[in-house]
Amino acid sequence: MAAAALHDLSGHDAVAARYHDVDAVYGETRDIRLLGFVFFLLADCVLFSSFIFAYIYLRVSAPAWPPFLNGHQLPWFDTSFAAMNSVVLFGSGVTMHFALENWKHLNKRKFYGWLIATIALGIGFLLGQAHEYSSVGISWAGTTMGASFFTLTGLHGFHVFIGVIYLTVLGIQVNRGVYTGSKYFGLTAGTLYWHFVDVIWVALFFLFYLW
């Protein structure tokens, strides 16, 4: 009898029932996906921590820092430029926060504005990093300082690059109606990832430019 009643549902009711089932599945799996994404970020923390502790060991073990190369001591990194570039990246964390908050309030126009600003600032940070690489005066090979700097900041820059692509994909998905006011886990994950990139840069900025 239940099967007969289901058969008698109108086309509209059948569609509503199907989406209701989808919403139920979303609610049941949202917390699990969030936990999985947090574990992914923790694994990334382990990756960065391995390189960071290796750098700290090499630095405290060195007789002088910056180290010497061919009888000349290497120069310190440009802290003022790195600080300006850091403001660009940290500013992108703020704009991404506002993007998500506007989506929660169903303000799609402002969401797009803040998201585009985040992507633009992320690209600006990468361009700043590329400029620094071209003028830093050391290479990856030859010194522990250069190898550590390019490895850690390069790994971070790669994460920023992936983040820019990720946020661009999220913008395309929003335009296609993938997310709603109650289903937006992808946007939450994108925001968490971007804040993670900011936090990692705080540690790298201290290690290479302030310590």
Q: What is the pLDDT of residues 75-113, one digit of tens each?
A: 889 999 999 999 999 999 999 999 999 999 999 999 999
Q: What is the pLDDT of residues 113-147, one digit of tens each?
A: 999 999 999 999 999 999 999 998 887 777 889 99
CA distance 72 to 173: 53
In the chain, pLDDT over 90 holds for what percent of residues? 69
Domain count of the chain? 1
Q: What is the pLDDT of residues 31-76, one digit of tens each?
A: 888 899 999 999 999 999 999 999 999 999 988 888 888 878 888 8
Closest to 94 measured CA to CA, from 205, 198, 207: 198
Report if residue 2 sits inside a domain. Answer: no
Are 66 and 145 in contact by the 8 Å Cβ rule? The answer is yes
Q: For residue 137, what is the domain's CATH number?
A: 1.20.120.80
pLDDT category, 156, cuts 50, 70, 90?
very high
Q: Could you tell me the pTM of the whole model?
A: 0.85
Report if residue 166 sits inside a domain. Answer: yes
Domain coverage including residue 112: 13-210
Report if residue 1 sits inside a domain. Answer: no
Report if residue 81 sits inside a domain. Answer: yes
Average pLDDT value over all residues in the chain:
88
Taking the alpha carbons at both ends of the chain, their separation in whole angstroms is 75
Report if residue 18 sits inside a domain. Answer: yes
Report if residue 181 sits inside a domain. Answer: yes
**pLDDT the model gives residue 24:** 66
Cβ atoms within 10 Å, residue 98:
16
CA distance 68 to 74: 6
Report if residue 134 sits inside a domain. Answer: yes
User: What mean pLDDT comes out for the span 184-192?
Assistant: 95
Report if residue 7 sits inside a domain. Answer: no
Inform me whether the pLDDT recorded for 162 exceeds 50: yes
